[in-house]
Structure 1
Amino acid sequence: MTAPTDPSTGNVVSQDGHVLIVPIADPAAGTAMARDTILDGAAALQAVARGDRDARVLLLSGRGANFCAGGNVRAFASADDRSAYLRGLADDAHAFVRAIYEADIPVVVAAKNWAAGIGMSFVLHGDVVIGGPSTKLQPAYGGIGLSPDGGMSWALPRAIGAARARNVILTNRVITADEALSWGILSEIVDDDQVNAVALERARKIAAGPVNAIRAARRLLSTSAGNSLDEHLNIEARSISTLAGRPEGIEGVDAFIGKRKPNWG
């Protein structure tokens, strides 16, 4: 699955039903991060957060051979002021990451082949991450004398533990697909040529479900690490009781009792 060009905007951010698709790599730049697409993706997600765009799931995919091979190092080298250029690039990437969380919708990632540097950072913000046997992740920053961005140093310790994250980042370790699956970065491994298609299928399935219940569940999972058990139990109780009185909760329970498939609208 390659995201088509959106004729209304002239970019490659597109939508498949309720699935917002942002292909973050630029195949013309060796599958480095596509800066313009990231900016367009952030704008689309901000529209979702405002209620101006109806998207229920975000799908991050690549274009070309890889999910994303990192930043465009050739562009780094050619910048007149490298510090200023990298600050601007990091700010743009971080605006996209912030927009992901502001939109408050599930994130599916099609992590095909390499996810390096900022590409690995984006993978770590996924809720459901599909990879293949050839999927590999690498921080890559240390290899060019830089430090992580895109939230990697925040997300990786939460995903795999502090000690393992330090080892991966400080030694610039390559994480194989099997390791990423066993460590909880990948959700599942499929054939390499099926990564994009399966990721789109998973995104469509989530988008077809009860949107408010799915958002609530994702929010509970995202906030659990910062809550005590007692606090979190109270939050869970408020959430489930609120949903029980809303149309989705009523329809879900009534459909179960009526032995029919729920209509989520």
Structure 2
Amino acid sequence: MSAPLRVERRDGVAILTLDRAEHGNAIDVAMADALLATALDCAGDPTVRAVILTGAGAMFCAGGDVAAFAAAGDAAPALMHRLTAPLHAAITRLAHMDAPLVTAINGAAAGAGFGLAMLGDIALAARSAKFATAYGAIGLTPDAGTTWLLPRLVGLRHAQRLALAGERIDAEEAARIGLVTRVVDDADLMGEAMTVAQRLARSSRTALRTTRDLLWSSSDTGLETHLAREADAIASAAGRPDGREGIAAFVEKRRPVFA
């Protein structure tokens, strides 16, 4: 049996490919476990300076493996816990690791795949990509961070029509409402994702980590508290080797070389 997640490392970038193309890259327990193990590995490896998440074949991710849910019968609730535990732990690690995340959404993203697509700090959608929460159609509720991320990205009204009414949208509308960063021609998607990831990989890993944390926490804190966090963060950054190198490079009119 082939691995459900392919991992390639290139020039400081880890490329994670959901690899159950014959099942629409639907997430089963094996894939959730593999995603968590790989997220932990990337988070703990200082040579990984950016991560790309994409899917094999024509779909990004169809969501959870509904066929497995049906086969589980009365054990479906236990299976849901077994699946979401590693999946949600992986999402947490991908969101808070030092390396920034680029999602390259190569096709349809539904259910948990919808949540994974949104997770990217930079989310690039192929022109052919489609987006749907899809849970209501099978009598289930969202997971994979969907109800946390969606209103923060697109606002409550768009979140309600997507999550409650189950509207399906294309890549252009996804970019228009802020669900993804931008749309890329299908043939150019991975090349553009690699270009973006390599640009991020050349940046200060510690500065990007702190910036990610500040952005993630911004909607949960008051202005004064957040200003204090920003002040502490920039003061700390100025004292680190990357901060000193960045300041020196700016003054000397050269590209910085971060550790």
Query: Could you state the TM-score of these two structures normalised by the residue count of structure 1?
Result: 0.89
Tell me by how many angstroms 1:87 deviates. Answer: 2.5
The percent identity for this pair of structures is: 35
Q: Does structure 2 retain, via aligned residues, the 8 Å contact 1:12–1:37?
A: no
Q: Distance in 2 between matches of 1:16 and 1:65?
A: 23
Which segment is superposed worse, 203-212 or 72-81? 72-81
Letter in 2 for 1:192: D
Partner of 1:110: 104
Residues in 2 aligned to 1:10 and 1:76: alpha-carbon distance in whole angstroms? 18
Matched, 1:168 2:180: no
Give the 5 Å matches for 1:144-159. 144-159=138-153
- Counterpart of 1:143? 137
Distance in 1, Cα, partners of 2:58 & 2:247: 45
Query: Pairwise mapping of residues 72-87 of structure 1 onto structure 2 (< 5 A)?
Result: 72-80=65-73, 81-87=75-81
Using the alignment, how far apart are the partners of 2:258 and 2:197 within structure 1? 16
Cα deviation, residue 247, structure 1: 1.1
Equivalent residue letter for 2:237: L
AA paired with 1:222?
W
- Tell me what 1:94 maps to: 88
Question: Cα gap change, 1:232/1:25 in structure 2, threshold over 3 Å: closer, same or farther?
Answer: same
Q: Secondary structure at the match of 2:52?
A: strand
SS, match of residue 59 in structure 2: coil
Task: Tell me how far 1:199 sits from its aligned partner.
Answer: 1.2
| Residue aligning to 1:230 | 224
Q: Summarize the Cα distance change of 1:21–1:35 in structure 2 as closer, same or farther, 3 Å threshold.
A: farther
Partner of 1:180: 174
Q: Secondary structure at the match of 1:12?
A: strand
Aligned residues: 257
Using the TM superposition, name which of 22-31 and 205-214 deviates more: 22-31
Residue 42 in structure 1 maps to residue 46 in structure 2: no
Note the C-alpha offset of 1:125.
1.5
Q: Secondary structure at the match of 1:67?
A: strand
Tell me which residue corresponds to 2:48.
55
Aligned-partner residue type, residue 193 of structure 1: A
* Distance verdict in 2 for CA 1:11–1:145, change over 3 Å: closer
Residue of structure 1 in register with 2:6 after alignment: 12
CA–CA distance in structure 2, aligned partners of residues 104 and 65 of structure 1: 30
Which ranges in structure 2 are unaligned for 5 or more consecutive residues? none
Question: Does 2:62 correspond to 1:65?
Answer: no
Report SS of the residue matched to 2:60.
coil
1:34 CA displacement: 5.5
Instruction: Name 2:240's counterpart in structure 1.
Output: 246
Letter in structure 2 aligned against 1:209: S
Distance 2:227 2:173 in 1: 32
Inter-partner Cα distance in structure 2 for 1:149 and 1:174: 17
Amino acid at match of 1:116: A
| CA 142–175 in structure 1, closer or farther in 2 if over 3 Å, else same | same
Give 1:25 shift.
Answer: 4.4
Deviation at 1:135, TM superposition (A): 1.5
Q: Is the 8 A contact 1:118 1:149 kept in 2?
A: yes
CA RMSD across the alignment: 2.1
Structure 1 residue ranges without an equivalent (≥5)? none
Q: Is the 8 A contact 2:5 2:18 kept in 1?
A: no
